[in-house]
């Protein structure tokens, strides 16, 4: 199991705690320190079954705070923005095998346990 984690995020910490409480030691990727490259992010989106637009953060640092207009951006441009500014990626994301989920709210991790 892998978790794309931000230790400054309460939900991310909660999800990590739930995983560990289930007796699982996941691979922890602090994606702000080690952001996914294009190949990894594209594979992650495929496992999620989502487009880049669908994993954009809705709070905190957003496209708007960076002076970008989501409505005028293509999915490819949003992917580029996430690659350049990984803080734009919603968190936490949990991956197990070929399945992944944005675990917000934290209870979305339960099927992975």
Do the Cβ atoms of 7 and 15 come closer than 8 Å? no
Q: Using CA atoms in the order 77, 96, 11, 67, what is the torsion angle rounded to 10 degrees?
A: 0
Find the distance separating the first CA and the last CA of the chain, reported in whole Å.
10
Catalytic residue among 3, 9, 55, 103: 9
User: Is 103 among the catalytic positions?
Assistant: no
Q: DSSP states of 43-82 as a string?
A: HHHHHHT--GGGGB-SSSS-TGGGT--GGG--HHHHHHHH
Q: Supply the residues annotated as catalytic.
A: 9
């Amino acid at each position: 199991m892998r978790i794309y984690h931000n230790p400054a995020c309460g939900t991310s910490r909660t999800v990590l705690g739930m995983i560990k409480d289930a007796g699982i030691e996941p691979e922890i990727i602090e994606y702000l320190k080690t952001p996914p490259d294009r190949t990894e992010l594209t594979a992650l989106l495929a496992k999620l079954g989502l487009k880049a637009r669908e994993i954009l953060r809705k709070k905190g640092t957003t496209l708007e705070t960076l002076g970008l207009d989501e409505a005028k951006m293509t999915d490819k441009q949003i992917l580029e923005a996430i690659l350049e500014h990984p803080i734009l990626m919603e968190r936490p994301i949990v991956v197990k095998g070929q399945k992944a989920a944005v675990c917000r709210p934290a209870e979305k991790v339960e099927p992975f346990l």
